[in-house]
Chains A and B, each alone.
Chain A
Amino acid sequence: MESLPLYPVYSVDFLGSFLMLLLSLGAFRYSLELKRHFPQSVLFMYLFGLSSAFVALSISRSIGHMLRFIFIYAGVPHWWQDLAPVSGSLNSICFVSVAVLTFVYPSVRKIIHRVRADAEQLKRAKEELEAANLKLQELYHTLEEKVEQRTRELLASEQKFRRLFENSGEVIFFCDAGGRISDINPSGVKLLGFSRKEEIIGRPMRDFFADEDSWRRYVETLCKKGFIKDFEARLRSHDGGERYVIITANTIEGEEGCKRGYEGIAKDITNYRKMTEKLIYSEKMASLGQLAAGVAHEINTPLGIILGYAQLLKKEFKDHPELAEELAIIESQAEVCKKIVSDLLSFARSSENIRGKKFINLNDCVIQTVDMIRHTFEMDDIDLKLHLDPELPEIYADDDRIRQVILNLLNNSRDAIGKGGEIHIWTFVSGEQVIIEIGDTGCGIPPEIKDRIFDPFFTTKPPRQGTGLGLSVSYGIIEDHGGTIEVYSPPKEEKHLKYGLKTVFVIRLPLGSHA
């Protein structure tokens, strides 16, 4: 065998290039699908490029291996001559394309990877940001809720303390560092006699202290100890009255320990004090009564003897005028003594139990007493005006002694008036009490002696005129009847002021008392 036929080669080429054409088209189809489904994949893009190049290659090769024979058989072999270089060039171009694609692919892939990574990072950052934002929002929400709850709690607490402050019966006050009142509750406003707290705020607290000395002590203790407990003080109220209070206060410390002011509670003890004073007073009266009774009893007998002998001697020395005159002085002085003693005795008796009590009409007592003295009073130009309640219920009392009380008071009024004036008497019922008020247009009672007029032997009158026992005896009698006697000078009520009264005594007796 000296030669090899080439037709097997040609037929394999022919068939092969045909198969290549088919297969490359198949590859192209798949790569196209892949590219279409996954447009973001670089690999598929590359594979698509590769397949396209292979299609081109297959076509160009098929020209070389298939068209040649077809042309030759068709009798146009020179056509092949023209197409051959095209086929060759196309082959080369395809190879180059494949090569270029392949070289470029990793770089593109790298770039795309980097871009993707960047995008991913960006996305992650964005997600993180969103998450953070969400968290922040949540936090904000919970914060809002918390704030709301705190506010509610605070409000409740504030209301609680506000109620305590506003409705407390005790005075609650706050002062600044300068000792000026910065806040005070309604009880305090009332105690100090104001109507609005704005009138008090800003005023120095010392203005309300009745005496300088107790203010100084108060401030000193407070500054030294930082607090003060149960401090008794007398406060001056707006209307001139006086109130007794016990103050408990403490300083408010600032951040650096400096004093920012103080806060305190003051308790009004005026009524309590008055009551205790009255109690002490009645105790005093009782012991004094006993003493007076003892003394009076002891003196009464020798005094009677002195008086008896004086009268006896006066009769015997009728014809000795000088002697008789001197004896008359002894007699009259002994008489005065006897009157004092009898007064004393009746005062003393007032604290004993009363025997002669019965149901009486107070109006009758008043009228009987007034009838008795009207004549003498008219001589001094004193008008007696009665405002008696005709439907006054009866009270259980000793009428003699009640008459004595009325008489004592009327006498005092006459003494206070001197000449020319009016005396008014009221009787009426108020609740469970029958009240008798006796007022006059006299000189009035100076405040400094107001506390002492009920004391036995307290008098402002010259010795022959007053014994100082009238009011204390009356006090004892009214007390025995379970009543009270009070003095108003000047009076407060309109009906008293209307007549220009200066002093009004008010007696309250219990209705139907069997005491």
Chain B
Amino acid sequence: MQRILITLFIFFLEVSKVWAVQVHGPPEGFYSHILAHILFTISILFILYFSRRHPMGAGKAWLYFRISLILFLLWNLDTMMVHFLDLRLPEEALYLSPNPFEHKLYGPLTFERWVYYIGRFDHLICVPAMWFMVQSLRTFYREFKEQKVRN
């Protein structure tokens, strides 16, 4: 736990140098946003751990729920990574003209920039995550409704 805090501290120190160019604006905003991400990550890990320790069921709904949680976790990690890579990206690497369709990521296309570019497609993770969430709830709803009817 302590190590995590120290790492975070060092990380924030570094981030503060380049805050001016970031999407999330002033440093408090960025900090709180990143902290929120971290909290979110921890909470997902926690609930995953908790649901493992105290299994609340073996049905399909739970499976979906857990898949959804894992996808959200991945998505979260992805977005966090993108935020950091964003920080590391020099300002001239992005061409941001008024017309968004002309926006470009300039080279040299290093591995890091490729990762950044692909990481930006975060919806490819979060939409399935949300879809599994809906499936999970729907299954819950059906199962419990059936149970209720049977009772």
Chain A interface (Cβ within 8 Å of chain B)? 1-10, 12-13, 15-17, 19-20, 23-24, 26-27, 30-31, 33-34, 37-38, 43-44, 47, 50-51, 54, 58, 68-69, 72, 77, 84-85, 88-89, 91-96, 98-103, 105-106
**A34: chain B residues within 8 A (beta carbon):** 137, 140-141, 144
- Chain A contacts for B123, CB-based, 8 A: 12-13, 15-17, 19-20
Given contacts A2-B106, A6-B105, A9-B117, contact A27 B47 (CB under 8 A): no
Task: Report which of B37, B46, B98, B105 forms a contact with A95, defined as CB distance below 8 A.
Answer: B37
From the candidates A19, A33, A77, A92, name the one contacting B33 in the complex (CB within 8 A).
Answer: A92
**Contact call B144/A20, Cβ cutoff below 8 A:** no
Contact with A along B99-136 (1 / 0, CB 8 A): 01101111111000100010011111011001101100
* B38 CB → nearest A CB, Å: 9
Q: Are A92 and B134 in touch, CB under 8 angstroms? A: no
Report the minimum CB–CB distance from A9 to chain B (whole Å). Answer: 4
* B contact patch SS: helix
> Cβ of A102: which chain B residues have Cβ within 8 Å of it?
43-44, 46-47
Pairwise interchain contact A12-B124, C-beta atoms closer than 8 A? yes
B40 touching A88 by the CB < 8 A rule?
Answer: no
Q: How far is the CB of B32 from chain A (nearest CB, A)?
A: 5
Contact between chains at B133 and A23 (CB < 8 Å) = yes
Highest count of chain B CB atoms <10 Å: which of A3, A26, A50, A105: A3
A89 to B120, CA, bound (A): 20
Does B60 touch A at the CB level, under 8 Å? no
Is B56 among interface residues, defined by CB-CB distance under 8 A?
yes
Q: Which residues of A contact B133 (CB under 8 A)?
A: 23, 27, 50-51, 54
Given A2-B106, A88-B33, A103-B46, answer yes or no on A43-B56 (Cβ-Cβ < 8 Å): yes
Contact of B105 with A30 in the complex, beta carbons under 8 Å: no
Encode contact with A along B6-42: 1 for CB under 8 Å, 0 otherwise: 0000000000000000011100010011011101101
B148 at the interface (CB under 8 A from A): yes
On whether the beta carbons of A93 and B36 are closer than 8 Å, the reply is: yes
Tell whether, in the assembled complex, residue A92 and residue B100 are in contact, meaning their CB atoms are under 8 Å apart: no
Shortest 5 CB-CB contacts between residues of A and residues of B: A16-B123, A95-B36, A30-B137, A99-B43, A102-B43
Contact B36 A106, beta carbon cutoff 8 Å: no
Is B104 touching A106 in the complex (CB atoms < 8 A)? no
Q: Are B42 and A99 in contact (CB under 8 A)?
A: yes
Contact B141 A103 (CB under 8 A): no
Report whether B101 and A7 are in contact in the complex, using a CB–CB cutoff of 8 Å. Answer: yes
> What's the Cα separation between A34 and B122 when bound, in Å?
30
- Provide the B44-74 mask, 1 if CB < 8 A to any CB of A, else 0: 1011001000101000000000000000000
Residues of A within 8 A of B134 (CB): 23, 26-27, 30
Q: How far is the CB of A33 from chain B (nearest CB, A)?
A: 6
Q: A3-B95, A3-B104, A19-B127 are in contact. List 13 more A-B contacts (CB 8 A).
A: A5-B103, A6-B120, A10-B100, A16-B124, A20-B127, A51-B133, A84-B25, A88-B25, A89-B32, A95-B36, A96-B39, A99-B36, A99-B39
Interface band, chain B: 35 or more
Q: With a CB–CB cut-off of 8 A, which chain B residues contact A88?
A: 23-25, 29, 33
What CA separation (Å) do A26 and B54 show in the bound complex? Answer: 27
Q: Which listed residue (A6, A26, A98) contacts B40, Cβ 8 A? A: A98
The docked-state distance in angstroms from the alpha carbon of A58 to that of B47 is 21
Residue of A nearest to B50 (CB): A106
CB-CB under 8 A for A85 and B50, given A12-B123, A30-B137, A37-B148 = no
In the bound complex, how far is the Cα of B25 from the Cα of A95, in angstroms? 18
Residues in B whose Cβ lies below 8 Å from that of A10: 100-101, 103
Taken together as a complex, chains A and B put the C-alpha atoms of A98 and B126 apart, in Å, by 15
Please judge, given known A-B contacts A23-B130, A37-B144, A43-B56, whether A6 and B137 are in contact too, CB under 8 Å.
Answer: no
Contacts of A37 in B (CB 8 A): 141, 144-145, 148
| Contact sample, A vs B, 20 pairs, CB 8 Å cutoff | A3-B95, A3-B104, A4-B104, A4-B105, A4-B109, A4-B113, A6-B104, A7-B100, A10-B103, A27-B133, A34-B144, A68-B100, A84-B25, A85-B24, A88-B23, A92-B29, A93-B36, A95-B40, A96-B39, A99-B43
Which chain A residue has the least Cβ–Cβ distance from B104? A3
Task: With A4-B104, A6-B103 as known contacts, state yes or no: A24 contacts B29, CB within 8 Å.
Answer: no
Chain B residues contacting A72 (CB-CB under 8 Å) are 98, 100
